[in-house]
Amino acid sequence: MLFVGGVALLLWMSDQADKEGKRATLTSDILWLEQNLRFHLTRNEELLGRIDLTHTASAKAFESFARTLFGSESGLRQLAWLDAEGQVRLAHPATMDPSLGGETMEVSPSRQSFRLAKSLGKPVYSPTYPFFTNDWQFEVHVPVSREGRIIGVAVGVYRIRDLLGDSVPWWLAERYRISVIGDSGKVLGTRSKVESAVTEEGYQVAFDPPGWGLALHAVPYHAPRPLASILLSASLVILATIVLWSLWILRRHVLRRQAVEEQLRQEHAFRKAMEDSLDTGMRARNLDGEIIYVNPAFCRMVGWSAAELIGRRPPMPYWADDYLDETRFLHDRVLAGQGPEEGFELKLKRRNGELIDVLIHEAPLIDAHGQHSGWMGSMVDITERKQAEERVRQQQDRLQSTARLVAMGEMASSIAHELNQPLAAISSYCTGAANLLRNDAPSTEVVPALDKAVEQARRAGQVIRRIYSLARHSEDRFELIRLGERIDAALALMDVDTRQKGIRVTLELQAQPLIEGDPVLLEQALFNLLRNAAESMRDTVPDRRQIDIRLACTDGYALLTIADRGCGIDASVADKLFDPLFTTKAEGMGMGLAICRSVVENHRGRLSFETNPGGGTVFHILLPLAPQ
């Protein structure tokens, strides 16, 4: 029923669309005709307004001017020249309308239009009036002025039937009956070339100029419906009938199949529910090793669909490439009936290349006749269990590493205690020697104290060398790090200090390079450089306290610059700036820049500095990029 209704609706919509199309065409054509008539009338007004004394000097000159107007299909049928008093001086054709002259003109529409055109100084159209029996006509009065004075009025006479004949093209007349209707609804003129019945629908538009209630009315002719459209509609109706009959036959067939399919669906639903409830992968193979069945859990486990696996023979796509020989050996043992009864562990490969550990148990597959037809294998993913065992092992390794770190901490504590004694002794001996020298004691008393200080310094140096030897033989733990992230971490450590001191930090990261290194050491080195930059601006006015950081890549290296506007570095100490124990700070130890240079050079880089043109110092760190 919906199909038949749809076909009927389609036919109705097609008919409505055809009517709308014809209506739109009618509207467009009649508007075009109205504009064409308006163009002709306006052009004739302009031509009549151009008449001058040369055209009215004689009847022959006036006749020549009139013929020029009549020859351009203007719709004009008579032309007259009235003087300023309204008297007809010239006319063409000579047989003119009686209403243009004589005593009747005083009460005729022509006289009224003449007076109105003369008073307004612009063209005026007269109302329509009958001409002989069935013809209707109207006039246009165009005043002609020279030097600001009206010298006469040119009168053009239009006959409605002739105007339609000249202005309506043949193709428009073959489509519609074009009529001019008066204000009372009376047809004043018609243009038609086809003698045929017309439809009731039409379109009407005002005919202005000349106005006075005139209107253009177009009515399309009735055209018989095309044979192709009739055949198409009949074909659609016949097709709808055939479809309904076919659906009825199909319904009977479907009802018969539904009973059989219902039983099949129940059996399939039971088996599907059982298979989907399993997390264990099931795989069946025949005696030749060809896969004949896999359940969804097996497909999820290996990443291949059942359609891709069923019918495959060894080697299987889920066999791990590095374990092909081992897998093939176990496969052949199972097919020979010699598979391990307790099951066996094996590494398989997912579709995405990930390796998984599985535990497999194989059992004979017996068919309905009791014959051995293949092998049914159950597979359990034990990857997480294996990973848990690996995590336990790694945790034990970390515990051992933590124990070693605790031991190293205890050793560092003892070394600090050991260093504290010689350093305290050195301080005491040096203080005593200084007091002896102030008291002008003999050298025999001062030298022993200095010798003992030297001995204690040697002892402290031995402790330092042991620490250096231990650090030198330690294992470097480099990894891939982003230098920009280490800069952010160092700035985070400096955040409180920079805010308290009113220091502005500008960061320009033109790249995010990857390097190989120790993130802790690099972060410590960057922190030392940033802290030195902040401390160098202690005496700088607050408005100039600024640290500029810029990171870029060039020729396989990462280039980091840290510029401050502090006190700068004096040229006399520039050569000793990176020497250990050298410092220009009253409270400094002289190890910060030395450690920074050691860290950078340990990363196969280079640390340098130069004077900042705007005041202060610029440090450059050049580090090699990590290989791609």
Provide DSSP, 240-275.
HHHHHHHHHHHHHHHHHHHHHHHHHHHHHHHHHHHH
- We report the CATH number of the domain holding residue 581 as 3.30.565.10
Q: Are residues 592 and 507 in the same domain?
A: yes
Q: Are residues 53 and 181 in the same domain?
A: yes
Q: Are residues 332 and 444 in the same domain?
A: no
In-domain check, residue 173:
yes
Q: Are residues 426 and 489 in the same domain?
A: no
Residue whose C-alpha is closest to residue 590's, from 598, 580, 599, 605: 580
Specify the number of domains making up the chain: 4
- DSSP secondary structure code for residue 510 in this structure: S
In-domain check, residue 330:
yes
Residue whose C-alpha is closest to residue 127's, from 12, 36, 235, 207: 207
Tens-digit pLDDT profile for residues 58-73 = 888 888 888 887 766 6
In the 3-class helix/strand/coil scheme, how is 151-213 assigned residue by residue? Answer: EEEEEEEEEHHHHHHHHCCHHHHHHEEEEEECCCCCEEEEECCCCCCECCCCEEEECCCCCCC
Q: Are residues 550 and 515 in the same domain?
A: yes
Q: Are residues 483 and 614 in the same domain?
A: yes
In-domain check, residue 239:
no
In-domain check, residue 249:
no
The answer to whether 611 touches 620, Cβ cutoff 8 Å, is no
- Enter the tokens of residue 453: 């200080």
- We report the CATH number of the domain holding residue 309 as 3.30.450.20
Contact residues for 579 (Cβ-Cβ < 8 A; gap 6+)? 590, 594
- Domain boundary, last residue among 192, 220, 248: 220
- pLDDT at position 385 is 85
In-domain check, residue 591:
yes
In-domain check, residue 33:
yes
Count how many residues are written for the chain. 628
Residue 79: beta bridge partners?
Answer: 92, 156
In-domain check, residue 154:
yes
Q: Are residues 93 and 195 in the same domain?
A: yes
Q: Are residues 290 and 172 in the same domain?
A: no
* Domain boundaries, position 595: 479-624
- Domain boundary, last residue among 220, 239, 260: 220
456/448 Cα distance (integer angstroms): 12
- The parts of the chain modelled with pLDDT lower than 70 are 71-74, 95-109, 132-133, 193-201, 223-225, 396-422, 459, 461-477, 493, 496, 580-582, 585-591
Measured CA to CA in angstroms, residue 154 lies from 87, 150, 198 at distances of 11, 11, 40
**402-415: burial string, b at 16+ Cβ within 10 Å, e else:** eeeeeeeeeeeeee
Q: Are residues 510 and 454 in the same domain?
A: no
Q: Are residues 37 and 98 in the same domain?
A: yes
Q: Are residues 392 and 349 in the same domain?
A: no
- Domain boundary, last residue among 450, 472, 494: 472
In-domain check, residue 1:
no
Q: Are residues 516 and 596 in the same domain?
A: yes
- pLDDT at position 462 is 58
- We report the CATH number of the domain holding residue 462 as 1.10.287
299/79 Cα distance (integer angstroms): 101
Rounded to two decimals, what is the model's pTM?
Answer: 0.37
